[in-house]
Structure 1
Amino acid sequence: MLGLYRKKSLDDVFDTSEGALPFRLQRVADDELGETSTRRKEALEKLEQLISEEPDFNVSKDKDFLLRFLRVRKYNVDAAMQSIRKYYSDRAACQSVYCDFLPSTITPAARILTMALPGKDAHGRLVLLVKLGAWKPQEVSHTLFQRAGLIVLEHLITDPTAQTLGVCLLMDCHELSVDHVMSLNVGLIKRVLQYFQDGMPARLKAFHVVREGRAFDMLYCIMKPFLKKKLASRFRFHGYNFEDFHKEISPQILPEELGGQSPALDFDAFWSEMDQLETVFAANSRCGYTRKRVNDFATEEEIEKSLEFF
């Protein structure tokens, strides 16, 4: 006798429980991260328990915040906890960048250097644009420039897309000079690369470099000792050959100077949206290691001293 057919409900097909991803991302999360409603619930409980056992550590208990770290570490709870420690220890040790980690501190000259592109790459990833060659060190310090880029990145990684499909970084090096490279702080470069690899609760899947020249070769030599094999393999150097580049990021979301077809990028509109998130950034800045633990981490000055060979 044939069994009776029962029409599946939406809950049978899609995860609709608390903390579930949008439907379009659930299959990717299941296949690549091993995320299910049961595993998500169990992992959150274990991670919250580990956090509660950590002395002098004020971590946001917001489930969406904790899920970022679980997803980027593919639900390895211990690895997620280690990333949370790294996320906050970087903030504690790098006070010049994080002491005023607020959109309101980003000056107009810094705001035209970085933003999120209005669309996604060919793989559905969010794209962070950094206009390194347009940077004027006499107007914007390396510290402020790095803060601006990290604020944009911090905003992007709240999107579940970044936690599942990943983030793509696009660096435009047009007019990058040796003077630019000499104005960079090696300690800050080391810090941000460590954050990308160990503390960032998102998957950095591609690092596209365009319109680069000899000055970028010099910069890459500085970066290379701090790159793990996995991140180094994700660099793509396009120069002025946009054919392959446009296969990864469509001309439809790129400005004319990058061979694109979209209108000029509206940095003002983007940063106006960021200004609306001031209270969110302020609340997150109140979390982390308590003041008496800050001395446990290497300071920027100590890192600089250890890098004097450069």
Structure 2
Amino acid sequence: MGPVSLLPKYQKVSTWNGDLAKMTHLQAGLSPETIEKARLELNENPDVLHQDIQQVRDMIITRPDIGFLRTDDAFILRFLRARKFHQADAFRLLAQYFQYRQLNLDMFKNFKADDPGIKRALIDGFPGVLENRDHYGRKILLLFAANWDQSRNSFTDILRAILLSLEVLIEDPELQINGFILIIDWSNFSFKQASKLTPSILKLAIEGLQDSFPARFGGVHFVNQPWYIHALYTLIKPFLKDKTRKRVMKTNASCKFLGQLWIALVKPFHLLLQFFKEMLQNLDPTCLKFPLKALLLSVPDLSTTVVFCLFPSPLVRSQSVVEAGTLKHEEKGENENTQPLLALD
């Protein structure tokens, strides 16, 4: 049996029939492949899209304790996509989104990129946003944990910067459907730094990202985590949903993650050769059951794309094509990033 291509099925065959009459204005700008992916994976049906949105909107009256500051079609649609068009689940997420902001008012005052705390965190690379997407169309967010200067940035400001970045990115309908990948490199993250990650602030982050934000996370990858990060993960694991726990991947066993490839960075071809050279030098021989030919075939353009794999060897900073703190907002003016996003002040 020959190697199986790792390219998504939507890039190979699209069953979309080209009937543009069925596409509502809410799907305008989406590629046919993405529309087909939304239909197959998210149960999105353009024929009943407006009815689905209205059903969620009709539930708002059941939560008079929450101030729903935005209820337009495009806004509600992102919650439906995040919950695969289960209206009750989408409404629950919508309610938690605004409730989280009501319960944490200080976090969302002056919630824009020129806020001093958010600006410092963005400059320090929290988060780094890669310009290119992976081969499933997902945006890749990178966090180098050791960059956290605790005399300069509070954890809350880092969380605010991440949430603001996601607010900007989630405006893109393609990302509402394709989602995100989060990679956290724990290299050189000290025990002293880890001691500041208390259960209360970790719970705040989990509530903000897992329970109260309409994003699809295809994976959360821990790279080079020390033993005390393992201990912290054990501590927060009860707060994670079953689906989230399954998507948190740690790089202790290189065999398990040899096939986890992410097409991410446009680099010269010699970097790709160097990557495979170093990978093969450090490879555990017991891992060679994985067909290397299939590994190579998973890269669509070897001349322009460098692929990195989640191994115990450290991620190199130069792999990022985005300067630390650069927030990519596609097809928007630079000044628009400083506008408040649902700020409660």
Say which is worse superposed, 258-267 or 187-196, in terms of deviation.
Answer: 258-267
* Counterpart selection for 1:17 from 24, 28, 35: 24
* Counterpart selection for 1:72 from 78, 82, 97: 82
Unaligned 5+ residue runs, structure 1? 1-9, 288-310
What is the aligned-residue RMSD (CA, Å)?
A: 3.1
Aligned length: 277
Q: Kindly provide the CA deviation profile for residues 271-300 of structure 1, in whole angstroms up to 9, marking residues without a partner as x.
A: 79775322251xx2249xxxxxxxxxxxxx
Q: Which has the higher helix share?
A: 1
Q: Kindly provide the CA deviation profile for residues 115-152 of structure 1, in whole angstroms up to 9, marking residues without a partner as x.
A: 21111223221112122122111211111111111111
Give 3-state SS (helix, strand or coil) of 1:190's partner: helix
Query: Structure 2 counterpart of 1:62, which letter?
Result: D
What percent of counterpart residues are identical? 23
The residue aligned with 2:336 is 276
Say which is worse superposed, 272-281 or 20-29, in terms of deviation.
Answer: 272-281
User: Cα distance 1:233–1:78, how it changes in 2: closer, same or farther (>3 A)?
Assistant: same
* Counterpart selection for 2:124 from 96, 112, 121: 112
Q: Kindly provide the CA deviation profile for residues 167-204 of structure 1, in whole angstroms up to 9, marking residues without a partner as x.
A: 11111111112111211242221122133332221211
The residue aligned with 2:46 is 37
Query: Structure 2 counterpart of 1:12, which letter?
Result: D
TM-score (norm 1): 0.78
Q: Offset of 1:220 from its aligned partner?
A: 1.2
Unaligned 5+ residue runs, structure 2? 1-16, 267-305, 309-313
The residue aligned with 1:285 is 343
Q: Using the alignment, how far apart are the partners of 2:60 and 2:105 within structure 1? A: 23
Query: Structure 2 counterpart of 1:258, which letter?
Result: L
Q: Which residues of 2 match residues 50-69 of structure 1 at below 5 A?
A: 50-51=59-60, 54-55=63-64, 57-69=67-79
* Counterpart selection for 2:194 from 175, 181, 187: 181
Give 3-state SS (helix, strand or coil) of 2:201's partner: helix
Q: Using the alignment, how far apart are the partners of 2:114 and 2:51 within structure 1? A: 38
Query: Structure 1 counterpart of 2:130, which letter?
Result: L
Q: Offset of 1:252 from its aligned partner?
A: 2.6
The residue aligned with 2:92 is 82
The residue aligned with 1:193 is 206
Say which is worse superposed, 36-45 or 235-244, in terms of deviation.
Answer: 235-244
User: Cα distance 1:246–1:98, how it changes in 2: closer, same or farther (>3 A)?
Assistant: farther
Q: Using the alignment, how far apart are the partners of 2:59 and 2:135 within structure 1? A: 38
